[in-house]
Amino acid sequence: MTNKSDSADKAILMAAFARMDPVALAVALGSIWALILMAATFALLIKGAPPEWEIGGHLELLGIYLPGYRVSWSGGLLGGFYMWLIGAVVGYILAILWNLTHYLYIVMIVVRSAWWRMMAE
């Protein structure tokens, strides 16, 4: 009976402290961020603007941070590439930090458990 209980406890802990794959999160966040910027750019191009207004004036300001980006079809693709790179770096760093914090927390629990076991003897 204790074997089933230990197995269930281990399964719960493994689910709670599951590792994130840094490459998978990098690709996922990069792809999502790229699609969002490309969709916003292409939606503005399809929608258009009144003749006296510039198309995507606010979105055009991303060109300050993303060299070569502008609200155009080619600019949307270039901006998507930039955002994929930025999202991939952010996703990779987030996954590494997630795994590191969980590892440190588990180490802290094991050390604390060993300490209390030693103090009880």
The domain locations on the chain are: 20-92
pLDDT tens for 73-107 read 999 999 999 999 999 999 999 999 999 998 898 88
* Claim: this prediction has a pTM higher than 0.95: no
Identify whether the C-beta of residue 76 lies closer than 8 Å to the C-beta of residue 42: yes
Max alpha carbon distance in the chain (Å)? 83
Other beta carbons less than 10 A from residue 69's beta carbon:
25
Digit-by-digit pLDDT tens for the chain (121 residues) are 456 666 776 777 777 777 899 999 999 999 999 999 999 999 999 988 777 888 888 888 999 999 999 999 999 999 999 999 999 999 999 999 999 998 898 888 888 888 888 888 7
